Structure 1
Amino acid sequence: MELKNYSSSSTSGFILLGLSSSPQLQKPLFAIFLIMYLVTVVGNVLIILAIHSDSRLHTPMYFFLSNLSFMDICFTTVIVPKMLVNFLSETKAISYVGCLVQMYFFMAFGNTDSYLLAAMAMDRYVAICNPLRYATTMSRRRCLLLVMASWTVSHLHSLTHTILMAHLSFCGPNIIHHFFCDVQPLLMLSCSDTSANELLAFTEGSFVIMSPFIFIIISYFYITRAVLRLPSGGGRYKVFSTCGSHLTVVALFYGTIISVYIRPSSTYSVTKDRVVTVIYTIVTPMLNPFIYSLRNKDMKQALRSLTKRTE
């Protein structure tokens, strides 16, 4: 199948190879990822409803958590529904415009996730290291500004990459060896000079991804130092337990993202990266509600109250 320039033809598109080309695996994979998607949506919706319905959870930490849960729903919805359709489809096609739209929202929602995790680290830092100034520092207005800034920076970053991608020509093979439209697999198919795209991805992209991660590391350095000064062992455990859920999510999210994106394009591996990408695009958003609720007494109580109201 020979295609001309995708960027100049609205009828042209790509084929998403997916996780496996084996016909025998398509229905089992469909069932597995459908269950994971439903668990993700239901779990994160319950977190949002529990926080909204319980006045005790109307605090900055839970405000950021509810936004993170909403973002996780959006993040997986950009990828999984199309992935599920392709499992049952013979063509596994996606239009050129659809591919760019998917890439745009994937980057926008993914980066907003990372900035929200940084905002949550800031909340924990102020609460532990400057408790007397917590109410004024983490005011409702400032929390709203942090969320708005997360959205703005992430969408500008995504828009920049999408515009550059739209200027490339795709005149050769149209098979994307991935289960969604990501930057690197698309660059590998382009017959244009992609040096500007790769430079932007490695410089500006690295900054956008790594800056919130570095902020989180610095925040937890000061948190750890403050906790170690506490005279009571019980006090230390209580503080660390409140941060444990957040640190677990950070480790899962950034551990996989850094291994995929913060490296030269020459080291890109189709097989390895598809597996790792499943972790941060599908597995992590599914696990987040469990991570934040299993060890959190307030969240458990709010979920119980919500369950009783629905009975």
Structure 2
Amino acid sequence: MELLNGTTVQDFILVGFRVGPQGRLLLLALFIVVYTLTLAENFLIIMLIVQDDSLSCLPMYILLSHFSWLEMCYVSATVPRMLFDLSFPGGLISFHACFLQFYIFFSLGTTECLFLSAMALDRYLAICCPLRYLQIMSRDFCHTLVVLSWVVGFLWYITPVFLISRLSFCGSNILNHFLCDSGQLLALACPPLGYLPLFCYIATSSMILATCLFIVVSYAGVVFTLVKASGQNTGIKGFSTVSSHLAVVTMFYGSVVAMYIGGRSGESHTENTKVITLFYSAIAPLLNPLIYCLRNDQVKGALVRFLRRKRDI
């Protein structure tokens, strides 16, 4: 009997990674370490920025603290469920839980695109318009950027998720992925799908391309300005600061754009898709705090001051 929303599927099975029992235990231990370290690193950055007066008032670190919180949410949207499936393979995920994960994961990904754009704008204004930087990037403006990123990020994919949830899933309920992905869900839906796949593709690619273009233009202006100042210490310091941002942007957008290269069918492509998705949803949030901190003297200084305070107590 069909459900009220037109589907005959009440549960999905997430296949996850095709490995044996030993490989599953190895992945389980690895992802537990990755998840724990990711939460600890990003929480440490938030704590350092909030407790350090020299950082909490600077626009760059206001955005960075919220970005760290976003990374904690992003990794929590996928890894806990992946750990559960590795512990209990073949487990079911309910229809509503699947679409909830689908919505949260894509919304957080959209929010990350917007946050990276806001951070690129911050670096552009700091290097290309230093005299007006603090006037433009005020605390209120930073918080406005943060709120807009979260709101737009969680509004952007409501319509695609709703439309896909109204489809009929009358065949297999097996999702060959470790999360509920739009491509896998559309592949299980009963035809005709109409223009829905194209609409979902446009909704995703337009956000990626628009924010990527904005970031490229912003950093092109930054690099041009730094090249002119390359003979001064400010130019060298500016390159060091921007390089960490560029590394984070390259990791995220490089892996996301790779999802849209080549065909969308075939077993090898599906396995590659899992690896790419794993990289930008779990590995990148682990590496981002290290990239920001290892090349940032202000964050390392805040850590030293924090440890000294703890030692003196």
Range into which the TM-score falls when normalised by the shorter chain: over 0.9
C-alpha change, 1:267 and 1:223, in structure 2 (3 Å) is farther
Q: How far apart are the structure 1 equivalents of 2:266 and 2:214?
A: 27
Segments of 5+ residues of structure 1 without an aligned counterpart are none
Output the CA distance in 2 between the equivalents of 1:218 and 1:301. 31
Q: Which has the larger displacement, 76-85 or 186-195?
A: 186-195
- Are 1:22 and 2:20 counterparts? yes
Distance change in 2, residues 1:264/1:142 (3 Å): farther
In the other structure, the counterpart of 2:293 is: 293
- CA drift of 1:301 comes to 1.4
- Larger mean CA deviation between 161-170 and 243-252 belongs to 161-170
Partner SS state of residue 94, structure 1: strand
In the alignment, which residue of structure 2 is the partner of 1:280?
280
Q: Cα offset for 1:175?
A: 0.9
Partner of 2:41: 43
Superposed CA deviations along residues 68-109 of structure 1, whole A, max 9, x for unmatched, are 100000001010001101101143211100000000000111
Counterpart of 2:239, as a letter, is F
1:185-196 map, 5 Å: 185-196=184-195
Query: Where does residue 305 of structure 1 map in the other structure?
Result: 305
Residue range with higher mean Cα deviation, 48-57 or 82-91: 82-91
Deviations 1:272-304 (A, max 9, x none): 111111110000000011000001111011122
Describe the shift of the 1:8–1:307 C-alpha distance in structure 2 as closer, same or farther (beyond 3 A).
farther
Question: 1:158 maps to which residue?
Answer: 157
Whether the 8 Å contact between 1:45 and 1:69 is mirrored in structure 2 is: yes
Give per-residue Cα distances to partners, 1:168-187, cap 9 Å, x unaligned: 11111111111111111111
Identity, % of aligned positions: 38
Q: Within 1, Cα distance between the matches of 2:262 and 2:144?
A: 32
Q: Secondary structure at the match of 2:131?
A: helix
Structure 2 CA distance for partners of 1:97 and 1:309, relative to 1, 3 Å: farther
User: Which secondary structure does the structure 1 equivalent of 2:12 belong to?
Assistant: strand
Contact 2:111 2:153 in 1 (8 A): yes
Question: Who is 1:107 aligned against?
Answer: 106
- Name whichever of 151-160 and 102-111 sits farther off: 151-160
1:306 Cα shift? 2.6
Match of 1:128 in 2: 127
Q: Is the 8 A contact 1:7 1:170 kept in 2?
A: no
Report if the CA contact (8 A) 2:6-2:166 is conserved: no
Aligned residues: 309
Q: Which runs of 5+ in 2 are unaligned?
A: none
What CA distance in whole angstroms lies between the structure 2 residues aligned with 1:10 and 1:76? 31
Alignment-derived partner of residue 145 in structure 2: 146
Which residue number in structure 1 is paired with residue 81 of structure 2? Answer: 82
- Asked if the contact 1:177/1:185 (under 8 Å) is kept, the reply is yes
Query: What is the letter of the counterpart of residue 15 of structure 1?
Result: I
Q: For residues 36-86 of structure 1, what are the alpha-carbon distances to aligned partners after superposition, in whole Å with 9 as ceiling and x for unaligned?
A: 000000000000000001111121101111111000000010100011011
Q: 1:96-123 CA deviation, whole Å, 9 max, x = no partner?
A: 0000000000011111111111101100
2:180 and 2:307 map into 1 onto residues whose CA distance is: 38
Q: 1:197 to 1:49 in 2, by over 3 A?
A: same
Alignment partner for residue 29 of structure 2, among 6, 28, 31?
Answer: 31
TM-score scaled by length of structure 1: 0.93
Q: Secondary structure at the match of 1:131?
A: coil
Alpha-carbon RMSD: 2.1
8 Å CA contact 1:11–1:95 kept in 2: the answer is no
Instruction: Give the counterpart letter for 1:16 in structure 2.
Output: L
Shift of the 6–262 alpha-carbon distance from structure 1 to 2, 3 Å rule, reads farther
Aligned-partner SS, 2:13: strand
Aligned 8 A contact 1:10 1:97 in 2: no
Cα separation, 2, equivalents of 1:111 and 1:6: 30
Tell me by how many angstroms 1:231 deviates: 5.7
TM-score (norm 2): 0.93
CA distance in 2, matches of 1:176, 1:141: 44
User: For the Cα contact (< 8 Å) 1:6–1:13, is it kept in 2?
Assistant: no
**Letter aligned with residue 222 of structure 2:** I
Does the 8 A contact of 1:5 with 1:171 survive in 2? no
Partner deviation per Cα, 1:20-45 (whole Å, 9 max, x = no partner): 24233211110000100000000000
Q: What is the match of residue 201 of structure 1?
A: 200
Instruction: Give distance in 2, aligned partners of 1:255 and 1:304.
Output: 34
Counterpart contact for 1:169–1:191, Cα < 8 Å: yes
User: Is 1:250 matched with 2:243?
Assistant: no
Separation in 1, partners of 2:237, 2:87: 48
